[in-house]
Amino acid sequence: MVNINDYLTPQEHVLIGSTVEPRYNQQPYTPIAIQLGVDEELAHAVRVGIESIETIGYNWEPKNAQPVSIQLAPLNERGETLYDPQALNPAYTLRPLPKLKLRKAA
């Protein structure tokens, strides 16, 4: 049985309101499973199979008391997400938060 939480990145864990061991935060865009040695292709396949996850509405602009759904980003050849999480509803954008490491704008 697959534990979906293992296939989330530390960044995604912040969005759902959970925490991970500090050692995983060194690679905020890499799923925990990959950091534990799971093959990148398997991790990618599991993530593709996850239709969406619910995140805490407070993490988004405009602030929302209701959960905000995201689709998990695909992984690159290093096992990192290709981009920051994006809401399925384009009306929402991520808020910069102290615990949430976002990529720098290009």
26 in helix, strand or coil?
A: helix
Q: What is the mean pLDDT of the chain?
A: 91
What gap in Å lies between CA 82 and CA 73, rounded to an integer?
6
- Residue 102 included in any domain: no
Residue 69 φ/ψ, nearest 5 degrees: -85, 140
Q: What pLDDT sits at residue 65?
A: 81
Q: Please give the share of the chain, as a percent, with pLDDT higher than 70.
A: 97
Closest alpha carbon to 85 in 19, 36, 29: 29
Give domain status of residue 99, yes or no.
no
Q: pLDDT band for position 32 (50/70/90)?
A: very high
Rounded CA-CA distance 1/90 in Å is: 33
Q: How many domains would you assign to the chain?
A: 1
Q: Is residue 39 part of a domain?
A: yes
Structural domain that includes position 21: 4-94
| Residue 105, pLDDT score | 55
pLDDT in tens, 57-67: 988 999 878 99
pLDDT at 106: 46
Which pLDDT belongs to residue 33? Answer: 97
Per-residue burial over 72-103, b if 16 or more Cβ lie within 10 Å, else e, is: bbebeeebbbeebbebeeeebebeeeeebeee
User: CA gyration radius for the chain?
Assistant: 13
Q: Is residue 104 part of a domain?
A: no
**CA 6 – CA 39 distance, rounded (Å):** 13
Residue 54, in any domain of the structure? yes
